[in-house]
Amino acid sequence: MTNPRLTMGSLVKAYENKWSRWVGRKYSVACNSGSSANLLMYDALLQSGKLQNKKIIVPSSAWVTTIAPAIQLGFEPIMCDADESSFGLDIDHLEELLLKHKPGTVMLVQVLGVPANMDKIMQLKEDYDFFLLEDACAAMGSSYRGRKIGTFGDMSSISTYFGHQFSTVEGGMVSTDDKELYTIAFMLRSHGWINGLDPETRAQYLNKHSIKDIGTGFVFPYAGYNFRLTDDHAFIGLRQLDRMEWLIRQRYGNHLLYQKLLTGLFGFQMFDKDTTVCSIHFCALAESEDERNFITSELQENSIETRPFTSGNQGLQPYWFKKYPKFNGQTATRLYECGFFLPNYPTLTNSDIEHICSVAIKAALEHRKGDR
């Protein structure tokens, strides 16, 4: 091949189609990060004119860019506590907020790959009639009672950042079954222009704005972004998708082994036996912040990658409390103070996990005995 195009082209399209088929959605828009995917979901919903209001319930246990677009696009975010069991949205608090605020939208995170209580959330969606955005950026490959994560929201996002379940180095994707939301996200991804639309949709947009078709794609129904993925990233993604079943098996097996070895010593996320967890990390909960800090320093001493779960409560992050009151949800605050991550990746061996757990357990017991 001479002069390969390399920017967004046929490989991106093939990658979008392959992900849509794998996850089970009609349409996908690939973009350059999970954060961009979240922003595209918010903005597509806003531009669609379908929203009853700009109130949105956001999870406290999330990533900054799960919530940032709400602030950037002038939504009114209302924070919901985390569920003790899944670390996703707390159902009782969610219902209380739905009754009180009647928001047009709820944003959900499938926290670290462990599905939220989707039966209850989907029931609330029916009862209170809101749009559901599903941030599955750290949850690709998981499924809830046989249904794949990434198929619950009116729109869902994934991130294929380095270190996620599968990677295109940087990258993200929005998926949906709604043709209109897809079309808007598709245009917003690339400047807000009509370029690349199918002929029928193109004609609809031109007619709607009384613009004569002079054969150019340079017509901009929306004030968009440039969030395009490139064909070389898509090339990697296409191959990564071939490994999905293997990597789910590996990550799920690792997750179950962590659970087995840490039961009774630390708290962790719970799920039922019909649920498959393709987790990004294993999140454990120490008994106190002090104990957590001691364990993470011991893990680091032993060259084991770890991180405190400061994303457990976004309402304690400066970008939030500069604008809104600090969020003091009980469970979210416990995650923020006591949560820490243990590594999960497909080639981790059982003896690696046994070693990692032994270091974490030794540190916790030492701390609990008062030796530290």
Ligand X SMILES: Cc1ncc(COP(=O)(O)O)c(C=O)c1O
Residue choice 28, 33, 168, 276 for contact with ligand X (CB under 6 A): 33
356 binds ligand X (CB under 6 A): no
- Residue from 80, 82, 89, 109 that binds ligand X (CB under 6 A)? 109
The pairing of strands 55-59 and 105-109 is: parallel
Q: Which is nearer to ligand X, 64 or 256 (CB)?
A: 64
Could you tell me which residues are beta bridge partners of residue 31? Answer: 172
Task: Please calculate the CA angle 119-65-314 and round it to the nearest 5 degrees.
Answer: 75
| Total number of residues that touch ligand X (CB under 6 A) | 15
**Closer residue to ligand X (CB): 278 or 363:** 278
Select the residue interacting with ligand X from 161, 193, 282, 336 (CB under 6 A): 161
Does 308 engage in binding with ligand X (CB under 6 A)?
no
Q: Which residue is nearest to ligand X (CB)?
A: 34
Of 44-52, 59-67, 213-221, 355-363, the window that binds ligand X (rule: CB under 6 A) is 59-67
Among 132-140, 257-265, 295-303, 322-330, the segment contacting ligand X (CB under 6 A) = 132-140
Tokens of 306: 């770890």
Nearest CA among 349, 332, 337 for reference residue 59 = 332
C-beta of residue 148 within 8 angstroms of C-beta of residue 274: no
Output b/e per residue, 76-110; b: 16+ Cβ within 10 A. Answer: ebbbbbbbebbbbbbbebbbebbeeeebbbbbbbb
- Answer whether 58's CB lies under 8 Å from 78's CB: yes
- Answer for which of 44, 56, 118, 138 binds ligand X (CB under 6 A) is 138
CA gap 17, 28 in Å, rounded: 7
The DSSP-derived string for 196-246 is T--HHHHHHHHHHTT----S-S---SS---B----HHHHHHHHHHHTTHHH
Question: 164 an active-site residue?
Answer: yes
Q: Shortest Cβ distance from residue 38 to ligand X (Å)? A: 6
State the catalytic residue, choosing from 93, 164, 191, 367. 164
Q: Please select the residue that binds ligand X; options are 65, 176, 183, 240, rule is CB under 6 A.
A: 65
Let me know: does 338 contact 288? Beta carbons within 8 Å.
yes
| Amino acid at site 361 | I
Candidates 12, 97, 114, 137; binder of ligand X (CB under 6 A) is: 137
Q: Closest separation between CB of residue 36 and ligand X, Å?
A: 7
CA–CA separation, 369 vs 363, rounded Å? 10
Site for ligand X contains 66 (CB under 6 A): yes
Contacting positions for ligand X (CB under 6 A): 33-35, 38, 62-63, 65-66, 109, 135, 137-138, 159, 161, 172
Question: Mind telling me the catalytic residues?
Answer: 164
